Structure 1
Amino acid sequence: MSTLIAAEGLGHGYHDEWLFKNLTLGINSGQRVALVGINGAGKSTLLKLLAERFPPLEGKIVKNKAVKIGFLDQEPQFNEGFSISDHIFSLENKQQQLIKEYEELIEDPNPDEKTLNRLYEELSEHNAWEYEHEIKTILNRMGITHLQQKISTLSGGQKKRLALAKLLIEDPEILVLDEPTNHLDIDTIEWLEKLLTTGQKTILLVTHDRYFLDNVCNTIVELDRGKIFNYNGNYAYYLEKKSEREALDATVQHKNEQLL
């Protein structure tokens, strides 16, 4: 397995207090990694550093420039003047622009037949119908149906779902997700679990949803008092091995105290 992104000697903190120092961590292709730890351990900070949202105070993030990272923030930021359609569809992607034009047109109760026929032909020429179906499935699952709606009119939960939908449509090499199940119902969470575990997706996430974590992730990385502990298994495996590690640490500490 190739390493897609790595942290080398990473250190960061706020207000003269370090969250962690000299951390080393690698994320391999096909790994679905959950970052766990108590509140305040620095999980979201480490997530943002690995997503290259800002530079670390110490150390560096190493990745191939060709590798694209998609980041879902807890509170995503948008251009509030955009429509949903403006935000979702990329200007650089011809298939997406055709799909955008088509989806906006069919929302019109009286679409122009000539334009509609042209779009049918162009979508077929660019083999975009399967992609259109994938996009519609993602949008519908996220409860996004009115593409002309302005982002400024959306609730916080709708904005989070919109940000997640865009990432799933873009399908970057690495998905970095901060609380992806917030504002999702159970059916949508189960659908998302299946989507993320299909194929060889590379994922790094933070979530308080233990069932989602257990069903999606195959590697657990614990951030504990500024140190990293790796567990190659799901959340249930992590709990078992963490308990064993803590029992061993307690035994060693007890023996050391007896020697003093």
Structure 2
Amino acid sequence: MANSFLQIEGLTKSFGELVLFENISLGMCEGDRVGLIARNGSGKTTLLNIIVGQEGADCGTVIFRNDLHVGYLSQQPTFADAVTVGDVANGNAETVRILTQLKITDLAQPIGQLSGGQRKRVALAKVLTDDPQFLILDEPTNHLDLEMVEWLEDYLSHTRTTLLMVTHDRYFLDRVCNRIVELADKTLYTYKGNYAYYLEKRQERIAAQNALVDRANNLLRTELDWMRRQPQARGHKSRSRIEAFYELEERAKRRHEQQALRLQMKSSYIGNKIFEAHHVCKSFPARGASDTEKIILRDYDYTFARYEKMGIVGPNGTGKSTFLKMLLGIVQPDSGHFDVGETVRFGYYSQEGLPFDETKKVIDIVRDIAEYVQMSDGSRLSATQFLQNFLFSPEKQYSYVYKLSGGEKRRLYLCTVLMRSPNFLVLDEPTNDLDIVTLNVLEEYLQNFGGCVIVVSHDRYFMDKVVDHLLVFKGQGELQDYPGNYSDWRDWNLANAMPDDDGKTSANEPAKNVKPRTEKAPKLTFKEKQELAELEAALPRLEAEKAELEALMSSGTLSGPEIVERGQRMQQLIDEIDEKEMRWLELSEKA
């Protein structure tokens, strides 16, 4: 029988009236590799903090085996700023080796000079090499590039260390964990198997729960009829049946219909010209005598196509985020330029996140941008309704930003980006801190998005679902354009690996500047070309008139009859725009 390492019994935690989990229990034995998953704000990090003793529970016990060496990687590790990387390594050769693997090489550098992501990597190297018997990791893949994620996946797969971790990386869960524990409905559900097994069994559990609720509802109807006919209860038998009725009523309310994030925002019209890169060069000078010039782009040329969905991958520090900022005009190239089309409306989701005013309420963050949001079906939602689509309950909307979890803040940030109706999404590590449910919905939204997408992400599953080709940053201005998703590219690299002189393997280069694969379509007739040109001229004019009308109707200066008249014109505009956009889509597919 396996040795028991951890036993949790009757654990409850709440903040005021908000109950995160109630009377939960969990046991872990030597060799268990448990992935803990839940929605943002459900209490995953709080549970880990309670387990390691950094936070208290309302009631319940957490018991580790005596003399068990436990290692903990928190989401935001803390060090004294004056401590150097070498001080953390403390002469441990294995720690230095892993730091090098994680691209941390300057042992003399003070921790205070490192970014949040670099601090996380230093803490990861330290915890892995402290010889723990039990590892607890909170989002270990955040701030790692794809090469590092795959290295860590391989490292953990081949170690005997018992593991409890929170991660949103579905490939990582599938390949490392042998047990999935879901925190939902204030309790824990355990599945013995990997992530794929969990998905299958979870659906079976929900179906079984709903079947029980259906039976309870049928019985409730009978009992409700009895309750209506029942005079004031006098006997013990009646009182017992009434008590049973209320228990039955509570059970009948438990249907599992997990509220889904709904992304149905309207994207604005986008023309044929997206952007063109002309001989773009960018580099950063050496920072010291031992450093070298850092080249980001070297004479980069590219024409971005309408509806293109590009994924950007590469080691940390090769310039992926800088590339996005140059496209957006935040950072200027040394030479060359990006020529962006007139109809392009960027929606930028930065890796650093939006610096919200923490003292503001969630609803005020959204209202500062717009009181109403246009949806894809032509309807308009108020700020409150729109936030409910993003799973912010009315109570949560009126709470302060500083009270949100890290994942909830990222979800709010995503909300503020999409509500502006962009037609070109530029997303820098959008999957960090988002829960799996939100990721699934975001993936579906991006797959059907009627515009363009560029995304930088270390989430391999996400990239496989969303992008149609990759731009690979290899460092020092070397780029590789690959037609396909991340798994296609990785398989290609493995299949084409060639031994170098030192015995290592490297992949042959595919053809440069390969464009995404496109299917041949029937060409437009002369009349259709004329019609397409007319549509492309008319749509921006109609959108402008609609925006002016929306502003006028929201101004509060119109009389009752004027509101009716403008409302009729608004409906005409919506119908005309929808009709022309549908026709434009048909013709543009053939263009």
Q: TM-score range by the shorter chain?
A: 0.7 to 0.9
User: Which has the higher mean CA deviation after the structures are superposed, 250-259 or 178-187?
Assistant: 250-259
Q: Distance in 1 between matches of 2:57 and 2:217?
A: 38
Conserved 8 A contact 1:210-1:235: yes
Partner of 1:245: 205
Q: 2:129 aligns to what SS in structure 1?
A: helix
Tell me how far 1:22 sits from its aligned partner: 1.2
Q: Distance in 1 between matches of 2:78 and 2:168?
A: 22
Q: Does residue 231 of the first structure (1) align with residue 191 of the second (2)?
A: yes
Dislocated runs of 4+, deviation >4 Å: none
> RMSD of the alignment, in Å?
1.3
Q: Distance in 1 between matches of 2:104 and 2:19?
A: 41
Partner of 1:258: 218
Tell me how far 1:65 sits from its aligned partner: 3.5
Partner of 2:176: 216
The aligned length equals 219
Partner of 2:85: 84
Q: Distance in 2 between matches of 1:258 and 1:64?
A: 48
Q: Does residue 147 of the first structure (1) align with residue 107 of the second (2)?
A: yes
Q: Distance in 1 between matches of 2:115 and 2:154?
A: 26
Partner of 2:512: none
Partner of 2:67: 66
Tell me how far 1:39 sits from its aligned partner: 1.5
Partner of 1:12: 13
Q: Distance in 2 between matches of 1:226 and 1:14?
A: 13
Q: Distance in 2 between matches of 1:225 and 1:213?
A: 22
Tell me how far 1:218 sits from its aligned partner: 0.6
Tell me how far 1:53 sits from its aligned partner: 1.6
Partner of 2:31: 30
Conserved 8 A contact 1:6-1:61: yes
Partner of 2:123: 163
| Larger Cα-atom Rg | 2
| Uncovered stretches (5+) of structure 2, i.e. residues with no partner | 222-591
Conserved 8 A contact 1:179-1:206: yes
Q: Distance in 1 between matches of 2:108 and 2:66?
A: 34
Q: Distance in 2 between matches of 1:170 and 1:44?
A: 22
Q: Distance in 2 between matches of 1:241 and 1:16?
A: 32
Q: Distance in 2 between matches of 1:87 and 1:226?
A: 38
Q: Distance in 2 between matches of 1:26 and 1:48?
A: 17
Tell me how far 1:222 sits from its aligned partner: 0.8
Q: Distance in 2 between matches of 1:79 and 1:39?
A: 29
What do the CA deviations read for 1:203-245 (whole angstroms, capped 9, x no partner)? 1111111111111111001111111111000011000000011
Partner of 1:108: none
- Match for 2:30: what amino acid? S
Q: 1:19 aligns to what SS in structure 2?
A: strand
Tell me how far 1:156 sits from its aligned partner: 0.9
Q: 1:78 aligns to what SS in structure 2?
A: coil
- Match for 2:184: what amino acid? D
Rate the CA distance shift 1:199–1:152 in 2: closer, same or farther, 3 A: closer
Q: Distance in 2 between matches of 1:60 and 1:36?
A: 21
Conserved 8 A contact 1:11-1:20: yes
Conserved 8 A contact 2:95-2:126: no
Conserved 8 A contact 2:44-2:183: yes
Q: Distance in 1 between matches of 2:61 and 2:121?
A: 31
Tell me how far 1:64 sits from its aligned partner: 2.5
1:172 alignment partner, one of 125, 132, 141: 132
Give aligned-pair identity as a percent. Answer: 43
Q: Does residue 136 of the first structure (1) align with residue 136 of the second (2)?
A: no
Q: Distance in 1 between matches of 2:69 and 2:49?
A: 14
Q: Distance in 1 between matches of 2:124 and 2:200?
A: 32
Conserved 8 A contact 1:33-1:204: yes
Tell me how far 1:27 sits from its aligned partner: 1.4
Q: 1:255 aligns to what SS in structure 2?
A: helix
Does 1 or 2 have the higher relative contact order (CA < 8 Å, sep 6+)? Answer: 1
Conserved 8 A contact 1:51-1:70: no
User: Which has the higher mean CA deviation after the structures are superposed, 62-71 or 180-189?
Assistant: 62-71
Q: 1:170 aligns to what SS in structure 2?
A: coil
Tell me how far 1:163 sits from its aligned partner: 0.6
What do the CA deviations read for 1:19-51 (whole angstroms, capped 9, x no partner)? 112111111111110111111211111111112
Conserved 8 A contact 1:32-1:216: yes
Partner of 1:56: 57
Tell me how far 1:255 sits from its aligned partner: 2.1
Q: Distance in 2 between matches of 1:74 and 1:135?
A: 20
Tell me how far 1:258 sits from its aligned partner: 2.0
Conserved 8 A contact 2:69-2:132: yes
Q: Distance in 1 between matches of 2:172 and 2:47?
A: 21
- Match for 2:199: what amino acid? L
Tell me how far 1:17 sits from its aligned partner: 2.5
What do the CA deviations read for 1:80-113 (whole angstroms, capped 9, x no partner)? 1111111222xxxxxx4xx5xxxxxxxxxxxxxx
Q: 1:70 aligns to what SS in structure 2?
A: strand
Conserved 8 A contact 2:84-2:108: yes
Q: 2:180 aligns to what SS in structure 1?
A: strand
TM-score, length of structure 1 as denominator length? 0.81
Conserved 8 A contact 2:46-2:55: no
Q: Distance in 2 between matches of 1:56 and 1:255?
A: 36
